[in-house]
Amino acid sequence: MAFRRPQAGDKVNYFTNRVLENGKGYAKVWRFEGEEKANIEYKCPSCGHAGEKQQVFERVKVTIIKEKTGKKKKMDAFVFACDKCGAEMKLEKWTKSMPGKKKAA
C-alpha cells in the first residue's frame, strides 16, 4: 500500500505527533484500521532530512535514558530509521506519568 494521509471519514487506529530532541525534528505517525503498516512523516533531528515512509507498526523493548536524572529505563517504543543518515528515532509508548497526558477526572 502506498503512503497516504488521513482524509475525512478514514478510520485511524493510531496517531501521534511528536517533537524530537528539543525541537530539532518531528515525527507524525498514523495507522489506518485494518492495516499493519504505519505511515510516517518525519524530520530527522540528526541530519535535518525531511521524509515520508511506511513501516510495519511494531513496538519493541528499548532502553531509554532519562535526561533529567540520567537513569536508564526499559520501555516499549516504535523505532524507525532516517532514510538519509540511518539515525534511529524512538517513539516511546505514552504512560500516565508522561507530560501532555490528561489526568482522568
Tell me how crowded residue 48 is: count the other CB atoms within 10 A of its CB. Answer: 12
User: Strand order of the sheet with strand 59-65?
Assistant: 59-65, 72-81, 88-92
For the entire predicted model, the pTM comes to 0.81
Q: pLDDT category, 38, cuts 50, 70, 90?
A: very high
| Averaged pLDDT, 7-13 | 91
Q: What percent of the chain has pLDDT over 90?
A: 66
Q: How far lies 91's CA from each of 17, 20, 62, in Å?
A: 10, 9, 10
Residue 104 has pLDDT above 60, yes or no: no
CB 68, CB 98: distance < 8 Å: no
**Average pLDDT of the segment spanning 24-41:** 94
**What is the average per-residue pLDDT within 2-26?**
90
| Least confident residue range of 12-16, 42-46, 98-102 | 98-102
Residue 100: per-residue pLDDT: 62
**What is the DSSP secondary-structure string of 41-67?**
EEE-TTT--EEEEEEE--EEEEEEE-T
Domain residue spans in the chain?
12-91
C-alpha cell at 44: 530527522
